[in-house]
Structure 1
Amino acid sequence: MGKPKFYDLCIHAVPDGENVAEQLAALSRYLGYSGIALTNHSDKLPLSQPVLPSTNEFEIFRGVELAEENPSKLHGLIGKFRKSVDVLIVHGGSETVNRAALENPRVDILNHPAFAKSSGLNQVLAKAAADNDVAIGLTIRPLLHSRGPRRVRLLSDLRANLDLARKYDVPLVLSSDAMSCFDLRSPMEILALAEVCGLEEDEALEAITIVPERIISRNRPGPGYIREGIEVLEEGDYF
């Protein structure tokens, strides 16, 4: 078995986050990732698509995190963005949005499913996620930036969703959800944090390697495809 390829499929660049794509890409490559997805929220997209740096060993994928409370409008956004991105994430947080995302096979990942007094998932929604191959996103940034009761609640919600994911064989994706370079963590740090949160070592590894790679593969054309607008970075071009 070769060396695993690590992916972070949820990173926010300017104007959603604090750093530009080139800075986030350079640091992510330095930390040991094989690829990242730039997934700004749909209401904070750049005015023009940035030129995406890429090498044979490192790729940047186009993504979006849809932020919409109205399920009907959400389905419209899914249709609008699906063909133009490699990774399509829905920002959850209400039962109606979670259901709309998990029942739509064009969605790749549901992030932040929890809402008031609920971890965000139940048996019906977990089964829908499994049937439609929609992954549940486990994001690290909220844990890093929380303390006290809020962190306890986040961990409790995560473990409840993890139990349902195991029961219904729902795919999981681990990501930083970084809003700046300071939120990025190396793959080994992400794996260590995931195990503290209750994931087994093999579950955490699959959630940062195999599942992200599968998502990218199903949304991209076959071998030999070169995405328009790619710029190759030379070795050592960090910052």
Structure 2
Amino acid sequence: MADPVFYDLCVHCAPDGKSTQEEMVAMARHLGFGGIALTNHSNSDSLPKGSSDKGFEVLRGVELVSSNPSKLHGIVGKYRKKVEILAVHGGDEGINRAAVENPNVDILLHPGTPKGCGLNHVLAKSASDNNVAIAFDMASLIMLRGGRRVHSLSHFREILALARKYDVPFLLTNNASFSYGLRAPREMMALATLFGMERGEALMALSETPAEIIRRVRRGNNFICEGVEILEDDPSGMKGEDK
């Protein structure tokens, strides 16, 4: 069996972070990743560019920041065709709901609210139906201390239980904004056991799930369902063909 290819789909670089795109890529490659998505916040000065070089992928992404749930769908539409990975910065119940109900969203980050983990059975079901992945931010386990770390672990356990029950896709991310904030995939998998994630689940969260998100996005609007795809400039005039 081939070795898994690891991805971190929520990484920030300058001007949103402290390290340049080149520094983030070099460190991620060194740590054993096969690719990263640079998801600078939508309110930062600029979005990084994607690239692919010698077996390492750099995907162009964005982490949308909005305080208005009713406007989030419009912002998603604005960025969807500009980036490969589209994440939403949660933490508000309305924003969380708008994110998981929108199939054009790839990832919900930081869903936790002052009242709890930020998800419930209804939102988990919506995330599952719309293939919106929930990201577990390993940086919160590394950087936080005391009661705040305990609360983060508790919220992660709640989210994991909901994800298992409703078959919600989930990811592990460093959410790093500087190169030395990145951790190797095996370290991230070990950290995930602190809130009850099994090794197989953590492996999937770093390899199969992000790879599926990338495949789905790259199929784009031409994809109808498995085996059926719209062909560009089809001389027969047919809009779809069974592959």
TM-score by length of 2: 0.88
State the match for 1:180 in structure 2: 178
The structure 2 residue matched to 1:93, chosen from 91, 96, 105, is 91
The structure 2 residue matched to 1:54, chosen from 47, 52, 55, is 52
2:70 & 2:83 partners in 1: Cα distance? 20
C-alpha contact 1:25 1:53 (8 A) present in aligned 2: no
Deviation at residue 197 of structure 1 after TM alignment? 2.3
State the match for 2:167 in structure 1: 169
State the match for 2:29 in structure 1: 29
Which secondary structure state, in structure 2, belongs to the residue aligned with residue 220 of structure 1? Answer: helix
Deviation sequence 1:198-236 (CA, Å, 0-9, x none): 1001110000000000111111159xxxxxxxxxxxxxx
Deviation at residue 45 of structure 1 after TM alignment? 3.9
Where in structure 1 do 4 or more consecutive aligned residues deviate above 3 Å?
A: 49-53
| Bigger Rg, which one | 2
- Counterpart AA for 1:165: A
1:62 & 1:73 partners in 2: Cα distance? 23
State the match for 1:72 in structure 2: 70
Deviation at residue 146 of structure 1 after TM alignment? 0.4
C-alpha contact 1:6 1:33 (8 A) present in aligned 2: yes
1:111 & 1:51 partners in 2: Cα distance? 21
C-alpha contact 2:38 2:48 (8 A) present in aligned 1: no
Deviation sequence 1:29-57 (CA, Å, 0-9, x none): 111100000000110142xx555453231
- Consecutive unaligned residues of structure 1, counting only runs of 5 or more, are 223-239
C-alpha contact 2:24 2:179 (8 A) present in aligned 1: yes
Corresponding pairs, count: 220
Deviation at residue 15 of structure 1 after TM alignment? 1.1
State the match for 1:131 in structure 2: 129
RMSD of Structure 2 on Structure 1 (CA): 1.3
The alignment-based identity, stated in percent, is 53
- Consecutive unaligned residues of structure 2, counting only runs of 5 or more, are 221-243
Summarize the Cα distance change of 1:220–1:45 in structure 2 as closer, same or farther, 3 Å threshold: farther
Deviation sequence 1:78-128 (CA, Å, 0-9, x none): 000011111100000011000000000000010100101211010000000
1:5 & 1:34 partners in 2: Cα distance? 5
State the match for 1:11 in structure 2: 11
C-alpha contact 2:100 2:123 (8 A) present in aligned 1: yes
1:177 & 1:203 partners in 2: Cα distance? 19
State the match for 1:41 in structure 2: 41
2:174 & 2:48 partners in 1: Cα distance? 21
2:166 & 2:202 partners in 1: Cα distance? 17
State the match for 1:144 in structure 2: 142
* Higher RCO by CA contacts (8 Å cutoff, separation 6 or greater): 1
Which secondary structure state, in structure 2, belongs to the residue aligned with residue 133 of structure 1? Answer: coil
C-alpha contact 2:49 2:60 (8 A) present in aligned 1: no
State the match for 1:195 in structure 2: 193
- Counterpart AA for 1:153: H
- Counterpart AA for 1:5: V
State the match for 2:230 in structure 1: none
Greater shift in the superposed pair: 193-202 or 207-216: 193-202
1:176 & 1:103 partners in 2: Cα distance? 25
- Counterpart AA for 1:24: M
Deviation sequence 1:170-221 (CA, Å, 0-9, x none): 0001111001112100111111111222100111000000000011111115
TM-score by length of 1: 0.89
